[in-house]
Structures are given as C-alpha cells and as structure tokens.
Amino acid sequence: MRSKLVAAATLAVCMMGLGAPTAVGQDERSTEPTTTEPQPSDIEVTLALNPATVAPGQTVIATAACGAGDEATLASPVLAPVVLTADPDGHQPWALHGTTTVRQDAQPGDHDVVADCDGGAVSTVLTVLPVCTDSDDDGDQVERVPKGAPETGGGPEPDLLAPVVVAAGLAGLAGIAGLAARRAARR
C-alpha cells in the first residue's frame, strides 16, 4: 500500500515537472543604444477629445499626435483657446496634451475642433448637448403618479420561505437518522 502511494506521488511530481516550461536564451549583449519610442515620421497625425460629447461649461481633455514639434494650438468657436504641450516627464514625446473648457454660450450641435501643429493641421468633431433649464423640468418622471397601496405594489408579501426551509431541514435530518439506524441494524 505504501509503495503505491510513493509511486503515485513520484508520478505526480514528474508530471508537474514536464508541464513547466524551461526558459532558454542566448546571452548576446549589445553596446548599441536602443530606442522604443516611435520616430516622428512614423506617427499618424491625430486629435482626440475626451469626452467628445459635452455640455456647456464642461472640461475637455485634448490629446494630439503631431509627429514633430513640441506644441500645438487648439482652436474651436466653442472651446476656450489652449496650447497643447508635451508631457514634462518625457512620456509619449509624440503626444501633446491640454485641458480646456466648453464655453457657457456654446450652441448645441456638432462643432469642428482643429489642432495646428508642425506636422500639419488635424481636426475632429465635438458635440455640444443642449442645456436643460429648470423650466423644462416639471419634477415628475411619470405622466400619472400612482396613489394608494394597490397602485404602488400592494404592500408586503407573506413570508412563505421560512416554512419551506424548516421542512427541508427536517427532511434532511430524517434522512440522516434513517441512514444511521440502518447502519446500526447491520452491526
């Protein structure tokens, strides 16, 4: 019995060892500097606004990929003017960032936003939502407000779960007692 247990344990350990991958590599170190940053000529000129659908007075974060250059000017009739600049820590040197605010008097609809950078001009669309005024909101979410218990759900339901749980527990105990009595009768 003991030898079967030892053999099974040994087999299990061997199987785990076969499943584990072994890393093999060559030690070829280079003295040449490497770069992981994309080159300016490889970058597509893009402009992204977050969020792209806004209300008047809301803050918008603009990110432009301009290739060459370390700043860009963002222009739109519905946004406060802003100059997009590179990250001061040097992260993503191809990306220029800036934060601006939607003008309070911005009209609802789609508006063009243009970033003028050294790599050329790029544009996107900013959607301004209409402002909801207090006169538009009458306070009710429904047309007819229900009144009284029958129209609002009828009140509490009777608790039928407790008797079911008690009955199931008693049935389980009876089954266990029956098994114990059967075992005792066999001995």
Q: What is the CATH number of the domain that holds 116?
A: 2.60.40.1930
Domain membership of residue 150 (yes or no) is no
Q: Tell me if 120 sits within 8 A of 45, measured CB to CB.
A: yes
Three-state SS across 39-78? CHHHCCCEEEEECCEECCCCEEEEEEECCCCCEEEEECCC
Which residue type is seen at 145?
Answer: V
Domain membership of residue 165 (yes or no) is no
Q: In whole angstroms, what is the distance from residue 113 CA to residue 125 CA?
A: 6
Q: Is the pTM of this model over 0.85?
A: no
Number of domains in the chain: 1
Domain membership of residue 167 (yes or no) is no
> For residue 84, what are the domain limits?
40-128
Domain membership of residue 184 (yes or no) is no
Nearest Cα neighbor of 64 from 128, 111, 117 is 117
How does pLDDT run across 71-125, given as a tens digit for each residue? Answer: 888 888 998 888 888 877 777 777 888 899 998 888 889 998 888 877 678 888 9
How does pLDDT run across 45-59, given as a tens digit for each residue? Answer: 788 888 888 898 899
11's CB contacts (< 8 A; 6+ apart) are none
The token duo for 40 is 């300016």
Domain membership of residue 162 (yes or no) is no
Q: In whole angstroms, what is the distance from residue 11 CA to residue 110 CA?
A: 69
pLDDT for 31: 60
Q: How many CB atoms lie within 10 A of CB 128?
A: 20
Domain membership of residue 24 (yes or no) is no
Domain membership of residue 175 (yes or no) is no
Domain membership of residue 7 (yes or no) is no
